Amino acid sequence: MSRLHFRSVFVSDVHLGLRDCQAAYLLDFLRTVSCERLYLVGDIVDFENFELTPFWHPAHSEVLAEILGHAARGTRVTYIPGNHDAILRRFAGQRFAGVDIALAAVHVGVDGRRYRVSHGDEFDRDHSAPAWLVRLGNVLQRFICAANRRVNALRRLFGLGYHPLSIAIKSRIATARRFIGDFESRVAATARSAGFDGHICGHIHFGRIEDHDGVLYINDGDWVEHCTALVEHADGMFELLHWSEQRARLGLAVTAPPPALVPA
């Protein structure tokens, strides 16, 4: 099968073991692409949720098998655990079935620019909200995900494609927009102070490519709500893709003329 080839692919916040995980779309993406580097940027398996409400769909096993298949075909796979799969952090520095476990990584672009890669939950630690607000946020997140699941189930009945309802909701809530903006600013400021040209992360389930005064903030999004992945082309250009029945380009960091949009 002919695959779309990229220099690097970044995927995070898959949450295998969560009922809302969009594993079928991710599986299609993984089977469609090939790459030299595959970064799994945290919360790939949701061990935290699995302890509370055990759930596992056969497609979740297929996703893991496809990731291992990439490693077996020669892709260098790096798994950076997040807060929901933090149990794997104890294995940092080790390799399992061709997958390297690391707490963070440094990705060097075609042009030599250096990007720190981490899940992103470390940027919450010094900005923790009151416990009641965290619990309220978790309840609202579950509500949004449940609404997203039900709305898209109805859309499928009418032959319509996937629509990330939650991105429209988050974009209209002032508190959510402020949280996202503050998170971006902290990530970019930390990258600048550490001498990096940018930072690639996940964690907040909001894919985005944004230049912060010369420092590139890139969030590869998630596969629970928005179905997004970050890809790096051979010429060094970063592209944020939404991947469902209707594929779309959500953001670019242009270093060369952009390629044609990936065909559906």
> What's the pLDDT at 132?
52
> What's the pLDDT at 2?
73
> What's the pLDDT at 235?
93
DSSP class per residue in the chain: ---EEEEEEEE----BTSTT--HHHHHHHHHHEEEEEEEE-S-SB-HHHHHHS----HHHHHHHHHHHHHHHTT-EEEE---STTGGGGGGTT-EETTEEE-S-EEEE-TTS-EEEE--SGGGTGGGPPPHHHHHHHHHHHHHHHHHHHHHHHHHHHTTPPP--HHHHHHHH-HHHHHHHHHHHHHHHHHHHHTT-SEEEE-SSS--EEEEETTEEEEE---SSSS-EEEEE-TTS-EEEEE-SSS-EEEEEE-SSPPPPPPP-
**What are the residue ranges spanned by the domains of the chain?**
4-126+183-253
Per CATH, domain 4-126+183-253 is 3.60.21.10 = yes
Upper half-sphere CA count for residue 114 (Cβ side, 13 Å): 8
CA distance 19 to 146: 9
> What's the pLDDT at 166?
67
CA distance 37 to 8: 5
> What's the pLDDT at 127?
55
Please answer whether residues 109 and 232 qualify as being in contact, where contact means their C-beta atoms are separated by less than 8 angstroms: yes
Phi and psi torsions of 117, nearest 5°: -120, 120
pLDDT profile of the chain (264 residues), mean per 10:
89 95 96 97 93 91 98 97 96 96 97 96 70 55 67 71 68 73 94 97 94 96 94 96 86 60 47
> What's the pLDDT at 50?
85
> What's the pLDDT at 258?
46
> What's the pLDDT at 129?
52
Using CA atoms, how far residue 169 sits from 74, 112, 213, 248, in Å, is: 40, 38, 28, 19
Q: How many CB atoms lie within 10 A of CB 32?
A: 14
> What's the pLDDT at 51?
83
> What's the pLDDT at 264?
41
